[in-house]
Amino acid sequence: MTRSAQRVVGIAVLIVLGMVVLPVVAYFADTGDGGNAENWIIPVALLAMAAVGAALATALPGLAREGASTGRRAVTGIWWGLLGLFVGLVVFWFLLNGLDGA
């Protein structure tokens, strides 16, 4: 697979996961009894997307600069994962609320 194809596939996967990760984490963390589990939804989503981004950039070297070491690819993947979460949340927001807002 070419570097540009790896980049397109990786970014698409991260955006889709960015849209899905927050509702999935909220489903498992929200107990509904007023406990403190709801406070962990955003930190767990951030950590999950950072881990997925690091793993994906390690598996798809096209997401990082050419010739980057494995550690450098992992750090770049963490940033890609967090960016994917942000873009996914923005897209999810507009899909739920439309252009007029909430």
Give start and end residues of each alpha helix (H) in 1-102.
3-29, 41-59, 70-97
Report the number of distinct structural domains present in the chain. Answer: 1
Model confidence pLDDT, tens digit, residues 30-71: 777 766 777 888 899 999 999 999 999 999 988 888 888 999
Residue 10 maps to a domain: yes
Instruction: Give the percent of the chain with pLDDT over 70.
Output: 95
**Residue 94: band (very low, low, confident or very high) from pLDDT cuts 50, 70, 90:** confident
Q: For position 34, what pLDDT does the model report?
A: 66
- Say how far apart CA 87 and CA 14 lie, in whole Å: 9
Burial class (CB in 10 A: 0-12, 13-18, 19+), 57: buried
Residue 39 maps to a domain: yes
Quote the mean pLDDT of the chain.
Answer: 88
Residue 102 maps to a domain: no
Q: For position 88, what pLDDT does the model report?
A: 84
Query: Which residue range(s) make up the domain with 35?
Result: 3-97
Report the predicted TM-score, pTM, of the whole model to 2 decimal places: 0.84
Give the closest residue to 6 by CA, choosing from 56, 59, 62.
62
